[in-house]
Amino acid sequence: MSAYASLTVHFGRISAMSNAIGILQWDSDTMMPKGAAASRAESLALLRVMQHEMAVDPRLSDWLEAAGEDATLGTWERANLREMRRVFTAQTALPADLVEASSKAISACEMAWRQARADADFPALLPTLAEVLRLQREAGVAKGEKLGLSAYDALLNDYEPGGRSEKIDALFDDLAAFLPGFTQEALAAQARRPTPAPLAGPFAIEAQRGLGQRMMTALGYDFDRGRLDVSTHPFCGGADNDVRITTRYDEADFSKALMGVIHETGHALYEQGRPAAFMSQPVGQARGMVLHESQSLLMEMQACRSPEFLGFAAPLMREAFKASGPDWEADSLWRRYTRVERGFIRVDADEVTYPAHVILRYRLEKALIADAMPLAELPAAWNAGMQELLGTTPPNDRLGCLQDIHWPSGGWGYFPTYTLGAIAAAQLFDAACRAKPDALPGIARGDFAPLVAWLRTHVHGQGALLDTDELLTRATGHPLDAGVFKAHLARRYLAS
């Protein structure tokens, strides 16, 4: 067996282990009884240590060196080899005891977060979150020393290979300067239009679930390779060819669950569309979380808040909730789904204010990883940042620094990918609509096939073959920049 073939077998086994971990983690977040938390934490920690041991197998170094001399490898195989090296380099920076300790700390912190969030009690979370932060900082330092990066950039690199805070700082500083004034303009333009009346609930959860499944089908989600469930924080997870999504329901407002389902379906379409021939290999994985978030936000914000989509969705909403009247017409629903408000909750934010939520979290997590701010000061720093960026202060920590699971679950370095993804989403949707003139008319009919086919070719099916900027340049004509995103916001929100 050649060195490259040995590598593919080995990384296929690592992928199988990831699949097992993914399903166990999904169960932990959806159906696992509280009493199983301790034993589940032990199981996940053991599997993650075993996976880590596989990823740092000393044979890999020799195989990687020998495969690098193999002149028979094609473009995809060479890219796969590059991604194998990247994984091996990052994993060999971490000792097994740190992987185990981090997994156990995350499991404990996630359980503590659920209760602390419900109780709006940050001090109750502080001890377990401090341990997660300590271990994440340690991991960032270890990886950074191996990769020649800062601790934060080393953590970011796990979610967005090649991503650097220097570039993000420039983009986010530009947006932070742009957004307050633009938000005022958008609110002023909105005030000149009729204000949509609140839709009268309650909206039965079963009806919401049925509507969500109908939308998932329209978008192209394959229910033979996934399912829809409920969790405290919506997510897309599972395993290869078993891509599961979750949402959360509010009987007073069906739009939260519906848009959550659409958002997570965008992620799922990416996972279900990865290149089948390399599904278990590093090159067959999603490029990174910037492109992953671009797919969820492209569906949720670009496509499914468009007038075309609301024209298709309005009758389905009326049917689902047995509703009628002018408030349920497409134009009124469009005004509702594009309403700008200074709110507290990131996942419920409109696309104008959403970047401010992300910029806040990015700045805070950078400071915490750099040990430039005590963790105990997080609630106060959060509230001050909300006031500066959004002009509002959360009344409690449940609506403030406790709202997201990312930090308790070890997702340090993830947050900036949301807004970088929004920028990429605007570029990709614009390019898709120019390349496929039937994309928007198709959405108006509930036919997402033209749009999804373009995404399959230019994003999903590319796996990790290209880096983010190269993929965007090939698909849209230029690398990541905020110009198309700003132009999109102006078209949608400044029209009177």
- Active-site residues, by number, are 264
Count of Cβ atoms closer than 10 Å to residue 345 Cβ: 14
Contact between 162 and 467 (Cβ < 8 Å):
yes
- Which tokens hold the place of 304? 């499914």
Chain Cα centroid distance, residue 357: 14
- Edge-first strand listing for the sheet containing 236-239: 228-230, 242-247, 236-239
Contact between 338 and 350 (Cβ < 8 Å):
yes
The residues, any chain, with a CB within 8 Å of residue 74's CB and separated by 6 or more, are none
> Residue 257: which of 212, 304, 224, 321 has the closest Cα?
212
List helix spans (H) across 306-403: 307-321, 330-337, 354-369, 378-390
Reading phi first (left if > 0) and then psi (alpha if -120 to 50, else beta), residue 396 is in beta
Contact between 418 and 358 (Cβ < 8 Å):
yes
- Which tokens hold the place of 338? 């594009």
Residue that is written with structure tokens 């609506």 in the block: 399
Strands 242-247 and 228-230: parallel
| HSE-up of residue 7 (Cα within 13 Å, Cβ side) | 28
Taking each helix axis as running N to C, give the angle between helix 165-191 and helix 354-369, from 0 to 180 degrees, rounded to the nearest 10: 150
Rounded Cα gap, residues 162 and 154, in angstroms:
9
Rounded Cα gap, residues 481 and 225, in angstroms:
34
Contact between 244 and 227 (Cβ < 8 Å):
yes
